[in-house]
Amino acid sequence: MEETKVTRKYQITIPKRLRERHGIRVGERIALREEGGKIVIEVPKKVSDPSEYLWNLSKKPISVDAVKLVEESWERQ
């Protein structure tokens, strides 16, 4: 277990060993949540290719007829 000190501005320093292990860099965001009376710090997964990540959110391929959607939206107006 690592310890750190809370400053006057309520800031903490993440120990170097933990920053390096989890790949935390200056300016990155981390998530805090409360769990059973504890504060848990989570490091979000790094996404190397955002478009690939978004395409893989769906379990099955999605077939969309964009032209049909546009034409239908025109009809509704």
The reported pLDDT for the residue numbered 8 is: 97
Task: Provide mean pLDDT across the span 32-56.
Answer: 88
* Cβ count within 10 A of residue 18: 13
pTM: 0.55
Summarize the chain as % helix, strand, coil (round to 5). Answer: 30, 15, 55
- Domain boundaries along the sequence of the chain: 16-76
Averaged pLDDT score across all residues of the chain: 89
SS3 60: coil
Q: Name residues whose C-beta falls within 8 Å of residue 38's C-beta, 6 or more positions apart in sequence.
A: none
Q: What was the pLDDT predicted at 13? A: 95
Nearest to 24 by CA among 39, 42, 7: 42
For residue 63, give the amino acid letter. Answer: S
